[in-house]
Amino acid sequence: MALSKRPYKGTRDFFPELKRGQDFLFQKMSQTAHLFGYEPYDGPLLEEVDLYRAKSGEELINDQIYSFIDRGERHVAIRPEMTPTVARMVAQIHREVTRPIRWFTIANLMRYERPQKGRLREHWQFNCDIFGAPEGQGEVEILQVAIALLNNFGANEKHFEIRLNDRKIVDYTFNQLLKIDDEKALKLYKIVDRATKVSKEALDKMIDELGLSDEQRKIFSDYLSLNSFGDLMQFLAGSEVATYLPKFVDQMEELGYLPYLKYDPTIVRGLDYYTGMVFEIFDKHPENRRALCGGGAFADLLKIFDETPLAGVGLGLGDVTLMDFLKVHNLLPSFERPSNDLFVSFQTEEAKIPALKLAKELRSNNLNVITTLEPLKFKKIFPAAEKKGARFVAIFGDKELENNSVQFKNMQTKEQTELSLSDIDKIVEYLK
Protein backbone atom coordinates (compact mmCIF):
# COMPACT_ATOMS: atom_id res chain seq x y z
CA MET A 1 0.00 0.00 0.00
CA ALA A 2 1.27 3.46 -0.85
CA LEU A 3 2.15 5.69 2.08
CA SER A 4 0.00 8.66 2.96
CA LYS A 5 1.17 11.98 1.59
CA ARG A 6 -0.70 13.96 4.25
CA PRO A 7 1.02 15.58 7.20
CA TYR A 8 0.37 14.32 10.72
CA LYS A 9 -2.99 15.47 12.09
CA GLY A 10 -3.04 19.06 13.32
CA THR A 11 0.30 19.96 11.75
CA ARG A 12 1.16 21.85 8.58
CA ASP A 13 3.26 21.18 5.53
CA PHE A 14 4.89 24.52 4.86
CA PHE A 15 5.14 24.66 1.10
CA PRO A 16 7.17 27.67 -0.07
CA GLU A 17 4.24 30.09 -0.28
CA LEU A 18 3.17 29.26 3.29
CA LYS A 19 6.76 29.24 4.52
CA ARG A 20 7.45 32.67 3.05
CA GLY A 21 4.41 33.90 4.96
CA GLN A 22 5.69 32.34 8.16
CA ASP A 23 9.18 33.75 7.60
CA PHE A 24 7.57 37.18 7.18
CA LEU A 25 6.00 36.80 10.64
CA PHE A 26 9.23 35.51 12.17
CA GLN A 27 11.26 38.32 10.66
CA LYS A 28 8.95 40.98 12.13
CA MET A 29 8.97 39.22 15.51
CA SER A 30 12.73 39.10 15.63
CA GLN A 31 13.09 42.66 14.35
CA THR A 32 10.64 43.99 16.96
CA ALA A 33 12.38 42.16 19.79
CA HIS A 34 15.71 43.64 18.68
CA LEU A 35 14.17 47.13 18.56
CA PHE A 36 13.78 46.80 22.34
CA GLY A 37 17.16 45.16 22.94
CA TYR A 38 15.73 41.69 23.64
CA GLU A 39 18.32 38.95 23.12
CA PRO A 40 17.55 35.65 21.38
CA TYR A 41 17.52 32.30 23.19
CA ASP A 42 16.23 28.83 22.48
CA GLY A 43 15.93 25.63 24.48
CA PRO A 44 15.62 21.90 23.78
CA LEU A 45 12.66 20.40 21.98
CA LEU A 46 12.29 17.90 24.82
CA GLU A 47 12.11 18.61 28.53
CA GLU A 48 11.57 16.23 31.43
CA VAL A 49 7.87 16.00 32.27
CA ASP A 50 8.65 16.96 35.89
CA LEU A 51 9.40 20.47 34.69
CA TYR A 52 5.83 20.88 33.44
CA ARG A 53 4.36 19.01 36.38
CA ALA A 54 5.95 21.51 38.74
CA LYS A 55 4.39 24.59 37.22
CA SER A 56 1.92 24.05 34.42
CA GLY A 57 -1.69 23.07 35.00
CA GLU A 58 -2.72 19.43 35.49
CA GLU A 59 -4.87 19.77 32.37
CA LEU A 60 -1.69 20.28 30.36
CA ILE A 61 0.02 17.18 31.77
CA ASN A 62 -3.02 14.94 31.58
CA ASP A 63 -4.62 15.90 28.33
CA GLN A 64 -2.45 18.10 26.19
CA ILE A 65 1.17 17.11 26.45
CA TYR A 66 3.08 14.87 24.04
CA SER A 67 5.01 12.80 26.53
CA PHE A 68 6.76 9.45 26.39
CA ILE A 69 9.43 7.37 28.09
CA ASP A 70 12.76 7.62 26.28
CA ARG A 71 15.18 4.71 25.74
CA GLY A 72 16.97 5.70 28.95
CA GLU A 73 13.73 5.53 31.01
CA ARG A 74 13.36 9.29 31.27
CA HIS A 75 9.81 10.64 31.16
CA VAL A 76 10.06 13.45 28.61
CA ALA A 77 7.71 15.75 26.73
CA ILE A 78 7.84 17.76 23.53
CA ARG A 79 7.75 21.34 24.76
CA PRO A 80 4.12 22.59 24.85
CA GLU A 81 5.20 26.11 25.89
CA MET A 82 8.44 27.98 26.54
CA THR A 83 7.89 29.49 29.99
CA PRO A 84 9.14 26.47 31.99
CA THR A 85 12.22 26.29 29.74
CA VAL A 86 13.03 29.98 30.05
CA ALA A 87 12.59 29.74 33.82
CA ARG A 88 14.96 26.75 33.93
CA MET A 89 17.53 28.62 31.85
CA VAL A 90 17.26 31.90 33.77
CA ALA A 91 17.63 29.93 37.00
CA GLN A 92 21.10 28.88 35.79
CA ILE A 93 22.45 32.37 35.15
CA HIS A 94 20.37 35.03 36.93
CA ARG A 95 22.87 35.54 39.71
CA GLU A 96 25.70 36.41 37.32
CA VAL A 97 24.08 38.67 34.75
CA THR A 98 23.04 42.31 34.77
CA ARG A 99 19.34 42.91 35.26
CA PRO A 100 16.91 43.31 33.70
CA ILE A 101 17.29 40.15 31.60
CA ARG A 102 15.48 40.68 28.28
CA TRP A 103 15.06 37.54 26.18
CA PHE A 104 12.97 36.41 23.24
CA THR A 105 12.49 33.24 21.25
CA ILE A 106 10.45 31.94 18.31
CA ALA A 107 9.98 28.23 19.00
CA ASN A 108 7.94 25.32 17.67
CA LEU A 109 5.66 23.81 20.30
CA MET A 110 3.23 20.89 20.37
CA ARG A 111 -0.03 20.30 22.20
CA TYR A 112 -2.43 17.45 21.75
CA GLU A 113 -5.36 19.65 20.66
CA ARG A 114 -8.47 18.92 18.71
CA PRO A 115 -7.52 20.87 15.57
CA GLN A 116 -9.83 23.84 14.87
CA LYS A 117 -9.66 27.40 13.59
CA GLY A 118 -6.76 29.16 15.25
CA ARG A 119 -5.63 26.05 17.07
CA LEU A 120 -3.34 23.32 15.78
CA ARG A 121 -1.23 20.61 17.39
CA GLU A 122 1.99 22.19 16.24
CA HIS A 123 2.47 25.91 16.24
CA TRP A 124 5.23 28.44 16.60
CA GLN A 125 5.24 30.96 19.37
CA PHE A 126 6.98 34.28 19.84
CA ASN A 127 7.91 34.68 23.50
CA CYS A 128 9.36 37.80 25.11
CA ASP A 129 10.28 37.91 28.77
CA ILE A 130 11.84 40.49 31.02
CA PHE A 131 13.20 39.43 34.42
CA GLY A 132 14.30 41.68 37.25
CA ALA A 133 12.78 44.95 36.00
CA PRO A 134 11.78 47.61 38.55
CA GLU A 135 8.17 47.24 39.75
CA GLY A 136 5.64 48.03 37.06
CA GLN A 137 8.25 48.79 34.38
CA GLY A 138 8.50 45.30 32.91
CA GLU A 139 4.72 45.36 32.42
CA VAL A 140 4.94 48.64 30.49
CA GLU A 141 7.77 47.41 28.31
CA ILE A 142 6.24 44.02 27.47
CA LEU A 143 3.00 45.69 26.40
CA GLN A 144 5.03 48.14 24.31
CA VAL A 145 6.73 45.21 22.57
CA ALA A 146 3.37 43.59 21.83
CA ILE A 147 1.94 46.84 20.44
CA ALA A 148 5.09 47.60 18.42
CA LEU A 149 4.97 44.12 16.88
CA LEU A 150 1.40 44.52 15.68
CA ASN A 151 2.14 48.11 14.59
CA ASN A 152 5.01 46.69 12.52
CA PHE A 153 2.47 44.71 10.53
CA GLY A 154 0.41 47.86 9.99
CA ALA A 155 -2.17 47.10 12.70
CA ASN A 156 -3.33 49.77 15.14
CA GLU A 157 -6.00 50.48 17.78
CA LYS A 158 -8.70 50.07 15.14
CA HIS A 159 -7.61 46.44 14.67
CA PHE A 160 -6.85 45.18 18.16
CA GLU A 161 -7.24 45.92 21.84
CA ILE A 162 -5.38 44.85 24.95
CA ARG A 163 -7.69 43.61 27.66
CA LEU A 164 -5.99 43.65 30.98
CA ASN A 165 -6.50 42.85 34.60
CA ASP A 166 -4.41 42.18 37.65
CA ARG A 167 -4.43 38.96 39.63
CA LYS A 168 -3.99 41.04 42.78
CA ILE A 169 -7.32 42.73 42.05
CA VAL A 170 -9.04 39.38 41.64
CA ASP A 171 -7.45 38.10 44.83
CA TYR A 172 -8.52 41.26 46.67
CA THR A 173 -12.08 40.87 45.40
CA PHE A 174 -12.23 37.22 46.45
CA ASN A 175 -10.44 37.49 49.79
CA GLN A 176 -11.31 40.96 51.05
CA LEU A 177 -14.68 41.67 49.49
CA LEU A 178 -16.28 38.25 49.01
CA LYS A 179 -14.35 36.79 51.95
CA ILE A 180 -14.44 33.27 50.49
CA ASP A 181 -12.01 30.48 51.31
CA ASP A 182 -9.24 29.29 48.99
CA GLU A 183 -11.18 26.33 47.67
CA LYS A 184 -14.11 28.49 46.61
CA ALA A 185 -11.73 31.14 45.30
CA LEU A 186 -10.13 28.57 42.99
CA LYS A 187 -13.55 27.58 41.64
CA LEU A 188 -14.51 31.21 41.22
CA TYR A 189 -11.27 31.85 39.31
CA LYS A 190 -12.32 29.20 36.84
CA ILE A 191 -15.76 30.72 36.58
CA VAL A 192 -14.26 34.16 35.85
CA ASP A 193 -12.06 32.58 33.19
CA ARG A 194 -15.14 31.00 31.55
CA ALA A 195 -17.40 34.03 31.99
CA THR A 196 -17.25 35.32 28.42
CA LYS A 197 -16.99 31.87 26.86
CA VAL A 198 -20.29 30.43 28.12
CA SER A 199 -23.94 31.55 28.02
CA LYS A 200 -25.47 33.72 30.75
CA GLU A 201 -27.47 30.68 31.90
CA ALA A 202 -24.45 28.42 32.13
CA LEU A 203 -22.58 31.12 34.02
CA ASP A 204 -25.45 31.55 36.49
CA LYS A 205 -25.61 27.80 36.98
CA MET A 206 -21.91 27.63 37.79
CA ILE A 207 -22.30 30.45 40.32
CA ASP A 208 -25.39 28.82 41.85
CA GLU A 209 -23.37 25.69 42.57
CA LEU A 210 -20.96 27.70 44.69
CA GLY A 211 -23.67 28.66 47.19
CA LEU A 212 -22.76 32.34 47.60
CA SER A 213 -24.86 34.65 49.76
CA ASP A 214 -26.98 37.31 48.07
CA GLU A 215 -24.49 39.96 49.09
CA GLN A 216 -21.58 37.94 47.70
CA ARG A 217 -23.44 37.38 44.45
CA LYS A 218 -24.09 41.12 44.20
CA ILE A 219 -20.40 41.95 44.70
CA PHE A 220 -19.31 39.27 42.23
CA SER A 221 -21.82 40.49 39.69
CA ASP A 222 -20.58 44.07 40.18
CA TYR A 223 -17.04 42.82 39.65
CA LEU A 224 -17.92 41.06 36.40
CA SER A 225 -19.65 44.24 35.15
CA LEU A 226 -16.57 46.43 35.51
CA ASN A 227 -15.94 47.91 32.10
CA SER A 228 -13.26 50.57 32.44
CA PHE A 229 -10.36 51.67 34.61
CA GLY A 230 -12.69 54.34 36.04
CA ASP A 231 -15.26 51.68 37.06
CA LEU A 232 -12.48 49.67 38.61
CA MET A 233 -11.16 52.54 40.70
CA GLN A 234 -14.63 53.12 42.12
CA PHE A 235 -15.04 49.41 42.84
CA LEU A 236 -11.72 49.21 44.65
CA ALA A 237 -12.48 52.48 46.46
CA GLY A 238 -9.06 53.46 47.68
CA SER A 239 -7.96 50.04 48.88
CA GLU A 240 -4.24 49.42 48.84
CA VAL A 241 -4.48 47.21 45.73
CA ALA A 242 -5.84 50.21 43.81
CA THR A 243 -2.57 52.16 43.95
CA TYR A 244 -0.51 50.23 41.44
CA LEU A 245 -2.78 50.00 38.41
CA PRO A 246 -3.46 53.78 38.05
CA LYS A 247 0.29 54.44 38.00
CA PHE A 248 0.72 51.85 35.27
CA VAL A 249 -2.20 53.23 33.27
CA ASP A 250 -0.85 56.79 33.67
CA GLN A 251 2.52 55.77 32.27
CA MET A 252 0.89 53.98 29.33
CA GLU A 253 -1.15 57.11 28.69
CA GLU A 254 1.88 59.40 28.80
CA LEU A 255 3.58 57.14 26.26
CA GLY A 256 0.51 57.31 24.02
CA TYR A 257 -0.76 53.74 24.44
CA LEU A 258 -4.06 54.35 26.25
CA PRO A 259 -6.21 53.86 23.10
CA TYR A 260 -5.09 50.22 23.07
CA LEU A 261 -6.03 49.39 26.65
CA LYS A 262 -9.27 48.15 28.12
CA TYR A 263 -9.90 46.93 31.63
CA ASP A 264 -11.47 43.46 31.56
CA PRO A 265 -12.38 41.68 34.81
CA THR A 266 -12.66 38.29 33.05
CA ILE A 267 -8.98 38.15 32.05
CA VAL A 268 -7.22 35.89 34.58
CA ARG A 269 -5.08 33.61 32.34
CA GLY A 270 -3.89 30.19 33.50
CA LEU A 271 -3.76 29.72 37.23
CA ASP A 272 -0.22 28.59 37.55
CA TYR A 273 2.27 31.31 36.72
CA TYR A 274 0.79 34.72 36.99
CA THR A 275 0.69 36.78 40.15
CA GLY A 276 0.24 40.36 38.91
CA MET A 277 -0.88 42.04 35.71
CA VAL A 278 -2.42 39.72 33.11
CA PHE A 279 -3.46 40.62 29.59
CA GLU A 280 -4.78 39.24 26.35
CA ILE A 281 -4.81 40.94 22.97
CA PHE A 282 -8.02 40.60 21.00
CA ASP A 283 -8.77 41.18 17.39
CA LYS A 284 -11.57 43.74 17.07
CA HIS A 285 -12.81 42.10 13.89
CA PRO A 286 -16.16 40.38 14.51
CA GLU A 287 -15.11 37.29 12.55
CA ASN A 288 -12.01 36.61 14.59
CA ARG A 289 -12.72 37.03 18.28
CA ARG A 290 -9.82 34.97 19.53
CA ALA A 291 -7.01 36.16 21.75
CA LEU A 292 -3.91 36.43 19.62
CA CYS A 293 -1.45 37.18 22.38
CA GLY A 294 -1.40 36.75 26.12
CA GLY A 295 0.89 37.29 29.02
CA GLY A 296 1.45 38.76 32.40
CA ALA A 297 3.63 39.19 35.45
CA PHE A 298 4.93 36.38 37.63
CA ALA A 299 6.67 36.75 40.97
CA ASP A 300 8.34 33.43 41.60
CA LEU A 301 8.94 31.25 38.55
CA LEU A 302 12.37 30.26 39.86
CA LYS A 303 11.06 28.84 43.13
CA ILE A 304 10.82 25.30 41.74
CA PHE A 305 14.59 25.41 41.25
CA ASP A 306 15.19 26.56 44.84
CA GLU A 307 16.37 29.93 43.58
CA THR A 308 15.71 33.32 45.13
CA PRO A 309 12.60 35.00 43.70
CA LEU A 310 13.00 36.94 40.49
CA ALA A 311 10.01 38.84 39.17
CA GLY A 312 9.26 38.61 35.49
CA VAL A 313 6.80 39.69 32.84
CA GLY A 314 6.24 37.82 29.61
CA LEU A 315 4.16 37.52 26.51
CA GLY A 316 3.40 34.69 24.11
CA LEU A 317 2.01 35.11 20.60
CA GLY A 318 1.35 32.21 18.24
CA ASP A 319 1.81 32.12 14.49
CA VAL A 320 -1.60 30.59 13.71
CA THR A 321 -3.72 33.22 15.44
CA LEU A 322 -1.45 36.03 14.24
CA MET A 323 -1.78 34.85 10.65
CA ASP A 324 -5.60 34.71 11.01
CA PHE A 325 -5.57 38.25 12.42
CA LEU A 326 -3.41 39.66 9.62
CA LYS A 327 -5.45 37.89 6.95
CA VAL A 328 -8.80 39.15 8.16
CA HIS A 329 -7.48 42.73 8.14
CA ASN A 330 -5.70 42.41 4.77
CA LEU A 331 -2.36 43.21 6.32
CA LEU A 332 -0.37 40.59 4.42
CA PRO A 333 1.54 41.00 1.16
CA SER A 334 1.35 38.17 -1.37
CA PHE A 335 3.73 35.27 -0.81
CA GLU A 336 2.78 33.42 -3.97
CA ARG A 337 6.06 34.05 -5.75
CA PRO A 338 9.65 34.12 -4.60
CA SER A 339 11.81 37.17 -5.32
CA ASN A 340 14.98 36.83 -7.32
CA ASP A 341 17.27 39.46 -8.76
CA LEU A 342 18.01 37.66 -11.99
CA PHE A 343 16.84 34.73 -14.09
CA VAL A 344 19.70 33.47 -16.29
CA SER A 345 18.66 31.62 -19.42
CA PHE A 346 20.55 30.15 -22.34
CA GLN A 347 19.31 28.86 -25.65
CA THR A 348 22.14 26.57 -26.72
CA GLU A 349 24.33 23.99 -24.98
CA GLU A 350 27.42 26.12 -25.84
CA ALA A 351 26.04 29.01 -23.81
CA LYS A 352 25.62 26.93 -20.66
CA ILE A 353 29.08 27.43 -19.18
CA PRO A 354 29.22 31.20 -19.85
CA ALA A 355 25.72 31.51 -18.36
CA LEU A 356 26.56 29.49 -15.25
CA LYS A 357 29.82 31.42 -14.86
CA LEU A 358 27.96 34.73 -14.94
CA ALA A 359 25.53 33.40 -12.32
CA LYS A 360 28.45 32.39 -10.12
CA GLU A 361 30.09 35.82 -10.37
CA LEU A 362 26.87 37.65 -9.61
CA ARG A 363 26.09 35.46 -6.59
CA SER A 364 29.48 36.33 -5.16
CA ASN A 365 28.23 39.92 -5.42
CA ASN A 366 25.20 38.99 -3.32
CA LEU A 367 22.67 38.86 -6.12
CA ASN A 368 20.01 36.16 -6.01
CA VAL A 369 20.34 34.37 -9.32
CA ILE A 370 18.27 31.47 -10.58
CA THR A 371 19.39 29.72 -13.76
CA THR A 372 17.89 27.36 -16.26
CA LEU A 373 19.89 24.13 -16.36
CA GLU A 374 19.30 23.26 -20.01
CA PRO A 375 18.69 25.28 -23.18
CA LEU A 376 15.33 27.03 -22.98
CA LYS A 377 13.29 28.13 -25.98
CA PHE A 378 13.04 31.90 -26.26
CA LYS A 379 9.28 32.08 -25.78
CA LYS A 380 9.51 30.09 -22.55
CA ILE A 381 12.05 32.39 -20.91
CA PHE A 382 9.84 35.24 -19.72
CA PRO A 383 6.96 33.19 -18.30
CA ALA A 384 9.51 31.10 -16.41
CA ALA A 385 11.30 34.19 -15.09
CA GLU A 386 8.03 35.75 -14.00
CA LYS A 387 7.05 32.67 -11.98
CA LYS A 388 10.33 32.97 -10.14
CA GLY A 389 9.76 36.65 -9.35
CA ALA A 390 12.91 37.71 -11.19
CA ARG A 391 13.53 41.47 -11.55
CA PHE A 392 15.82 40.92 -14.54
CA VAL A 393 16.40 38.25 -17.17
CA ALA A 394 19.74 37.45 -18.79
CA ILE A 395 19.63 36.05 -22.32
CA PHE A 396 22.58 34.22 -23.88
CA GLY A 397 21.80 33.89 -27.60
CA ASP A 398 24.20 33.13 -30.45
CA LYS A 399 24.80 36.80 -31.20
CA GLU A 400 25.58 37.59 -27.56
CA LEU A 401 27.94 34.61 -27.33
CA GLU A 402 29.85 35.92 -30.34
CA ASN A 403 30.11 39.39 -28.79
CA ASN A 404 31.10 38.00 -25.37
CA SER A 405 28.10 39.89 -24.06
CA VAL A 406 24.75 39.24 -22.49
CA GLN A 407 21.33 40.76 -23.09
CA PHE A 408 19.44 41.90 -19.98
CA LYS A 409 15.75 42.61 -19.79
CA ASN A 410 14.22 44.58 -16.96
CA MET A 411 11.02 42.67 -16.23
CA GLN A 412 9.19 45.73 -14.98
CA THR A 413 10.12 48.39 -17.55
CA LYS A 414 10.64 45.80 -20.35
CA GLU A 415 13.79 47.70 -21.36
CA GLN A 416 16.63 45.63 -22.85
CA THR A 417 20.32 46.35 -22.40
CA GLU A 418 23.33 44.52 -23.81
CA LEU A 419 26.34 44.48 -21.48
CA SER A 420 29.82 43.04 -21.95
CA LEU A 421 30.70 39.94 -19.91
CA SER A 422 34.16 41.38 -19.36
CA ASP A 423 32.83 44.12 -17.07
CA ILE A 424 31.15 42.37 -14.15
CA ASP A 425 31.12 45.51 -12.00
CA LYS A 426 29.00 47.28 -14.57
CA ILE A 427 26.58 44.35 -14.68
CA VAL A 428 26.34 44.29 -10.88
CA GLU A 429 25.66 48.01 -10.83
CA TYR A 430 23.00 47.65 -13.51
CA LEU A 431 21.24 44.89 -11.58
CA LYS A 432 21.31 46.58 -8.16
Please report, as residue ranges, which positions from 73 to 112 form the binding site for a second copy (by CB under 8 A): 74, 76, 78, 88-89, 91-93, 98, 100, 102-103, 108, 110, 112
Q: Which residues of 79-117 are buried (b: 16+ CB within 10 A; e: fewer)?
A: bbbbbbbbbbbbbeebeeeeebbbbbbbbebbbebeeee
- Residues numbered 13 to 52 that lie near a second copy (CB under 8 A) are 13-16, 19-20, 22-23, 34-37, 39-48, 50-51
- Residues numbered 221 to 240 that lie near a second copy (CB under 8 A) are none
Q: Which of 254, 336, 350, 429 binds a second copy (CB under 8 A)?
A: 254
Rg (the chain; Cα; Å):
28
Closest approach, Cβ 214 to a second copy, in A, equals 45
CB 21 within 8 A of CB 124: no
Q: Which of 58, 59, 70, 429 binds a second copy (CB under 8 A)?
A: 70
Residues in the chain: 432
- Please give the Cα distance from 261 to 398 (Å, whole number): 67
**Residue 71 touches a second copy, criterion: CB under 8 A:** yes
Closest approach, Cβ 108 to a second copy, in A, equals 6
Closest approach, Cβ 30 to a second copy, in A, equals 8
Identify the helix (H) or strand (E) that includes residue 160.
Answer: strand 160-166
The count of residues interacting with a second copy (CB under 8 A) is: 90
Identify the helix (H) or strand (E) that includes residue 105.
Answer: strand 101-110
Closest approach, Cβ 334 to a second copy, in A, equals 14
- From the list 71-79, 202-210, 309-317, 405-413, the region that binds a second copy by CB under 8 A is 71-79
Q: Which of 196, 275, 288, 340 binds a second copy (CB under 8 A)?
A: 340
- Residue 30 or 275 with smaller CB distance to a second copy: 30
Helix extents (H) in 308-377: 319-328, 352-363
- Residue 98 or 413 with smaller CB distance to a second copy: 98
Closest approach, Cβ 166 to a second copy, in A, equals 19
Closest approach, Cβ 289 to a second copy, in A, equals 28
Tell me whether strands 160-166 and 277-283 are parallel, antiparallel or unpaired: antiparallel
Q: What angle do CA 213, 218, 221 make, to 5 degrees?
A: 120
**Residue 251 touches a second copy, criterion: CB under 8 A:** yes
Phi, psi dihedral angles at 137 (to 5 degrees): -80, -35
- Residue 242 or 367 with smaller CB distance to a second copy: 367
Residue closest to 407 by CA, chosen among 367, 373, 374, 378: 378
- Residue 162 or 191 with smaller CB distance to a second copy: 162
Q: How many CB atoms lie within 10 A of CB 309?
A: 11
- Residues numbered 165 to 204 that lie near a second copy (CB under 8 A) are none
Closest approach, Cβ 21 to a second copy, in A, equals 10
**Residue 214 touches a second copy, criterion: CB under 8 A:** no
- Residue 375 or 397 with smaller CB distance to a second copy: 375
Identify the helix (H) or strand (E) that includes residue 18.
Answer: helix 16-35
- Residues numbered 389 to 408 that lie near a second copy (CB under 8 A) are none
- Residue 180 or 358 with smaller CB distance to a second copy: 358
CB 12 within 8 A of CB 125: no
100 secondary structure, DSSP code: S
Q: How many CB atoms lie within 10 A of CB 147?
A: 24
Closest approach, Cβ 395 to a second copy, in A, equals 17
- Residues numbered 101 to 160 that lie near a second copy (CB under 8 A) are 102-103, 108, 110, 112, 122, 133-134, 137-138, 140-141, 144, 148, 151
Q: What angle do CA 316, 270, 162 make, to 5 degrees?
A: 50
Handedness of CA 110, 296, 285, 145 (dihedral sign): negative
- Residue 144 or 407 with smaller CB distance to a second copy: 144
Closest approach, Cβ 313 to a second copy, in A, equals 11
- Residue 218 or 360 with smaller CB distance to a second copy: 360
- Residues numbered 348 to 377 that lie near a second copy (CB under 8 A) are 353, 356-357, 360, 363-364, 366-371, 373-374
Handedness of CA 248, 88, 105, 99 (dihedral sign): positive
- Residues numbered 290 to 329 that lie near a second copy (CB under 8 A) are 304-306
Residue closest to 90 by CA, chosen among 318, 312, 315: 312
